[in-house]
Amino acid sequence: GIQVEQSPPDLILQEGANSTLRCNFSDSVNNLQWFHQNPWGQLINLFYIPSGTKQNGRLSATTVATERYSLLYISSSQTTDSGVYFCAVLRGSTLGRLYFGRGTQLTVWP
Amino acid sequence: GAGVSQSPSNKVTEKGKDVELRCDPISGHTALYWYRQSLGQGLEFLIYFQGNSAPDKSGLPSDRFSAERTGGSVSTLTIQRTQQEDSAVYLCASSYTGGVQPQHFGDGTRLSIL
């Protein structure tokens, strides 16, 4: 299978700070998704971003497919941003299964 | 429906019992996926349905696990003779046509085996 590595594993921020989360993957991919798992366990879609840059409010993401990495930027963090951020990738040859990284645990303090 | 719906949200059962978990995908989505999230293993793929067929069931951990999908909609994941290591959150996702389309997840079923 494909290896997905996320860094850092843990991140603690003060409210208002900015952060960058990284996802490295070991092979070419056809799809990449970023998810936020909130403290209630819900897995929320943030971005579908196989390549390029997208922005949604305070969040943005960039995937450089040729270099096999993706970055998730969180600006002006809020306590509601706390939770685990997962990167997941898909290869066309494996019929749609997503391979997940281990996640980045983000804690934002007021 | 508006989102992927899973039931029950929580299930506690005794070791050795059978359990059934249900997933109702987003209306119109032909592809459906089951994943499992456990403390030691992270998020792992179990099975993928396209319509009522399962072209990839390679993630099912043992023959105690089975899944079916009927009418191209609702899916049921069945675990027979449950073991304590089956304790996990079971997540269902769906996507519009499968392939590289984005997957949308339900809230999961938290399964606890006593």
**Gyration radius of chain B's alpha carbons:** 13
Q: What's the distance, CA B20 to chain centroid? A: 10
Tell me the pLDDT tens digit for each residue of A3-61. Answer: 999 999 999 999 999 999 999 999 999 899 999 999 888 999 999 999 999 999 999 99
* Per-residue burial over B15-51, b = 16 or more CB atoms within 10 Å of its CB, e = otherwise: eeeebebebbbbeebbbbbbbbbeeeeebbbbbbbbe
Q: For residue A37, what are the domain limits?
A: 4-109
- Whether residue A50 and residue B100 make contact (CB cut-off 8 A), yes or no, is yes
Q: For residue B44, what are the domain limits?
A: 5-113
Contact predicate B40/B87, CB 8 Å: no
- B47–chain A nearest CA distance, Å: 8
Q: Which 8-state DSSP code applies to residue A49? A: -
Task: Tell whether the model's pLDDT for residue A67 goes beyond 60.
Answer: yes
A94 vs B: CB within 8 A: yes
**Gyration radius of chain A's alpha carbons:** 13
Number of domains in chain B: 1
Predicted pLDDT at B2: 83
- Whether residue B48 and residue A95 make contact (CB cut-off 8 A), yes or no, is yes
Shortest CB distance from B100 goes to which of A35, A90, A102? A90
Tell me the CATH number at B55.
Answer: 2.60.40.10
Tell me the pLDDT tens digit for each residue of B39-60. Answer: 877 899 999 999 999 989 999 9
Which residues on chain B are in Cβ contact (under 8 Å) with A56?
Answer: none
Query: What's the pLDDT band for B1 if we cut at 50, 70, 90?
Result: low
Residues 6+ apart with CB under 8 A from B18: B78, B79, B80, B81, B82
The closest of A45, A23, A43 to A89, measured between CA atoms, is: A23
Task: Tell whether the model's pLDDT for residue B78 goes beyond 70.
Answer: yes
Number of domains in chain A: 1
By the 10 Å C-beta count (0-12 exposed, 13-18 middle, 19+ buried), A80 is classed as exposed
Tell me the pLDDT tens digit for each residue of B27-42. Answer: 999 999 999 999 877 8
A99 vs B: CB within 8 A: yes
Tell me the CATH number at A10.
Answer: 2.60.40.10
Amino acid at B54: A
Which residues on chain B are in Cβ contact (under 8 Å) with A48?
Answer: 102
- Whether residue B89 and residue A33 make contact (CB cut-off 8 A), yes or no, is no
B42 vs A: CB within 8 A: yes
B102 vs A: CB within 8 A: yes
Tell me the pLDDT tens digit for each residue of B79-100. Answer: 999 999 999 999 999 999 888 8
